[in-house]
Structure 1
Amino acid sequence: MSGMFSAYVISLILRKHFLIKYTRSSNLTDYLSPIYFDWRYNSSILMKRSYGYQDFFVKTPAALKNRSLTGLQRMFSKDVNFVRMNWDYTEHFRKFLGLQNVIPWLLELHYADIYSKFFNTLFKPTNMITEAVNKVVQNVPKLACAHIRMGGSDTIPGDERHTEEKQLKHVWNFLKTMEARHYSIFIATDAQIVKEKASALFKHLLEAEGRILHIDWGATGGDLVNGYKKVVVDFFVLTKCDVLVLTKSGFGIMAAYLNSDVSNLYCLTPNELVPCSRYTIHNYFPGELLSPY
């Protein structure tokens, strides 16, 4: 979502129309629908128009570093400009002269509320996703959740380590107290070993159907459709949790940003689980999670 947000802001700065192009294996419109304007890309717009492609995956464009409107205009000078981004460039955008005349709430709001406003302006879950989420949380009066991003697991080869297994004792011990207080437990994770451990520990464990995969890591193999669906369902369930535990992950941070009703939020540090909030998450997970600080 960080990359889509950055591309959206650039489109506003340059007064261009924002569209999202998706692949057949992960058709975004299966999961999200437009709200206030139609962002769905159609290849017919290329007819008799020039187009170009820019790849800024884990990169910051020089024009943003230099706060250069002219540089942005040169970079996206074609009629149709495709761009791949995965970072948030809010701190760079905020230094552009005249931004208050284009997107004033980017200067006024905290990250959590920026993303809430962005998402709720552009997207809503499709009926398929809403039904799948409701299937997980139906008849659940109290819900305690954790997003456990391990990294470096057998499930996603090549990924870097995010969380050490020994740290998880703090999460398990905490969630046991929640289950004892009659909370249902939901775990979203990138690691099969975490899923198996949770299944062994909790009687009231809720799960979304589908295989574990990571959208950014080019998943292969069977059941990709249900795997992508599970990622989206996991995300929206996390936005509905009464109690939410986060590990170091942009996915979990985004879910917390959209969950304005969460009553208790906790962040896992190397040695303990500590109370945090939508507005203090970055104090506990600094670094290049959403943007290149």
Structure 2
Amino acid sequence: MSTHPDALPPHPALTTQAGDAASTVCFGAMQFGGTADAAESEAMFDACRAAGINFFDTAFGYTGGRSETLLGRFAAPERERLFIATKCAAPAPSTAANITAQFEQSLQRLDMDYVDLLYLHRWDPDTPLEETFEALAGLVEAGRVRRIGISNFSAWQTMKAAWVAHRFSLSIDALQPMYNLVKRQAEVEILPMAASEGFAVMPYSPLGGGLLTGKYAGGASGRLKENEMYRARYGQDWMHDAAAALADLAADTGTSPATLAVAWVAHNPDVTAPIISARSVEQLKPSLAAMSFEMDEALYAQISALTPKPAPATDRSEEA
């Protein structure tokens, strides 16, 4: 550990208030109160708890607040044993006023006195980082937030934010990037940075918006066909070819492509806890199965070879 007087502080372990380690898989409650009604949401929460998951993720902007409200209701009986994360400052900017107003509303919806982890949901190029992190430091100092994280930040944005946070005696402990078999940009700088600097990494979309479940090859409907953002994100032919190849490999190994997709993300040593999600318990089961799936290095390499490895940050291809 560096002894330089300006060195960033070490990152504390992610533990619940009761002292239990956060689970190595996180459940994302983005569908609670949306495509999953209250009963199905509760059933998924119970299935996660039965599988040993104590780490749950939501956001101020999910399903008009219903996600936070339902998660808070389900979590209430064992609050101290759970690690609850939410996000703020999206779609609003990362001003002190917006962070404070959104977080107050999040706590009311969750019916909680504190959250274990509060993420900034997006990078805001227009608000000074000093204003943002002074506000977040106040929430931590008041005991209303135990850890701070950032979501959808690039590597340079992360390190800039970390140094500004340090000026307020605050550490950024967790990152939430997009990462899956067809979206591997995080391997270039974000994951190496996290390994070097000690950030916990909770990647979202390990199933590529459902692409890597194999359902679209059979003509099923879903976000990739119905949502313009997801169509743009996962619309390239090579991505669909990779999904089909993953489904073939899953059939050969006697498992589900969704199980392989989640297990592939989790197998990366720089990943702390992939975020899984679903609209129903039935849809969730293959992702939960990844928790006990044993992936050896040969299978990991075989799956990795289905998609292009991104070029190094220097763009010197001979270094790849």
Q: Under a length normalisation based on structure 2, what TM-score does the superposition of the two structures give?
A: 0.36
Which has more strand, going by share of residues? Answer: 1
Q: Under a length normalisation based on structure 1, what TM-score does the superposition of the two structures give?
A: 0.38
Which has more helix, going by share of residues? Answer: 2
